Structure 1
Amino acid sequence: MIARRGFTAVCLSLPLMALSSLAHADTISLRMGSGHPIGLLAYTETAHKWFAPELKKRIEERTEHKVKIQELHAGQVAKVTEVLEATRDGLLDIGFISLIFEPSNGFLQTFSLFLPFGSPDAEVVTKAAQATFAEFPEMKDVFEKQHNQVYLGGSCLANYGLGTNFAWEKFADLEGHKIAGAGTNLDWIVKATPVASNLNEAYQSIQSGVYEGYVSASTWWKAFKLNEVAPYFTKADFGAQYVNAVTINKQKWDRLPKEVQDILKEMGEEWAGVTAEVCKRNDASGLEQLKALKVDVREISDEARKEWATALKDFPQRMATDAASRGLSGAKVMNFYMTKLEELGHKWPYRYEVK
Structure 2
Amino acid sequence: MRLKTLGLAAALALAVPAASSAEDFTVTLVAGHPPVFRWVRMMPEAFIPTVTAELAKHGHSVTFSEQYGGALAKVGDELETVEAGLAEIGSCQALFDPAKLAVQNVTYYTPFVSSDVRLVGQVIDKLHADEPAMTQAYGENGVVYIGAPITIDDYMLMTNFPVTSLADLQGRKIAAPGAAINWLSGTGAVGVAGNLTTYYNEIKTGVYDGVLVFASAALPGKLYEVAPYITRFGLGAQYAGSLCANKDWWDGLPEEARAAFIAGSKAAQEWYTTELEKAVTGALAKMGEAGATITEASDEMRMGWAKGMDNAAKKWAAELDAQGKPASHILSTYMEAMRAAGAKPLRDWDKE
TM-score by length of 1: 0.88
- Deviation for aligned residue 1:354: 4.0
AA aligned to 2:210 is G
- Deviation for aligned residue 1:284: 1.8
> Which residue is 1:7 aligned to?
none
Unaligned runs of 5+ in 1: 1-22
**Residue 135 of structure 2 is aligned to residue 140 of structure 1:** yes
> Which residue is 1:49 aligned to?
45
Alignment map for 1:57-206 (pairs within 5 Å): 57-60=53-56, 62-144=57-139, 146-153=140-147, 154-190=149-185, 191-206=188-203
Q: Could you tell me which of 230, 253, 258 is aligned with 1:233? A: 230
- Deviation for aligned residue 1:65: 0.7
AA aligned to 1:45 is R
* Cα distance in 2 for residues equivalent to 1:114 and 1:102: 15
1:315-352 Cα distance to aligned partner (Å, 9 max, x none): 22111112212212212211121121122221112232
AA aligned to 1:151 is Y
AA aligned to 2:30 is G
Equivalent residue of 2:200, what SS? helix
> Which residue is 2:219 aligned to?
222
**Residue 282 of structure 2 is aligned to residue 285 of structure 1:** yes
* Cα distance in 2 for residues equivalent to 1:91 and 1:148: 13
Contact 1:320–1:354 (CA<8 Å) still a contact in 2? Answer: no
> Which residue is 1:316 aligned to?
313
Contact 1:331–1:354 (CA<8 Å) still a contact in 2? Answer: no
- Deviation for aligned residue 1:155: 2.7
TM-score by length of 2: 0.89
Contact 2:124–2:239 (CA<8 Å) still a contact in 1? Answer: yes
C-alpha RMSD of the superposition: 1.8
- Deviation for aligned residue 1:128: 2.0
Once the two structures are overlaid, the 10-residue window that deviates more, 254-263 or 128-137, is 128-137
* Cα distance in 1 for residues equivalent to 2:265 and 2:105: 18
Equivalent residue of 2:238, what SS? strand
Identity of aligned residues (%): 28
- Deviation for aligned residue 1:122: 0.4
> Which residue is 2:4 aligned to?
none
* Cα distance in 1 for residues equivalent to 2:130 and 2:87: 29
Contact 1:179–1:194 (CA<8 Å) still a contact in 2? Answer: yes
Q: Assess, with a 3 A threshold, how the Cα gap between structure 1 residues 270 and 335 changes in structure 2: closer, same or farther.
A: farther
* Cα distance in 1 for residues equivalent to 2:251 and 2:127: 27
1:134-188 Cα distance to aligned partner (Å, 9 max, x none): 33223224313x2222210133122211111011022222112110112100111
> Which residue is 2:29 aligned to?
32
- Deviation for aligned residue 1:271: 3.5
Equivalent residue of 1:238, what SS? coil
Larger fraction in helix:
1
* Cα distance in 2 for residues equivalent to 1:70 and 1:115: 37
Contact 1:155–1:271 (CA<8 Å) still a contact in 2? Answer: no
AA aligned to 2:143 is Q
Unaligned runs of 5+ in 2: 1-19
Contact 2:33–2:69 (CA<8 Å) still a contact in 1? Answer: yes
1:197-239 Cα distance to aligned partner (Å, 9 max, x none): 2222212211111100011001211212222211111222211
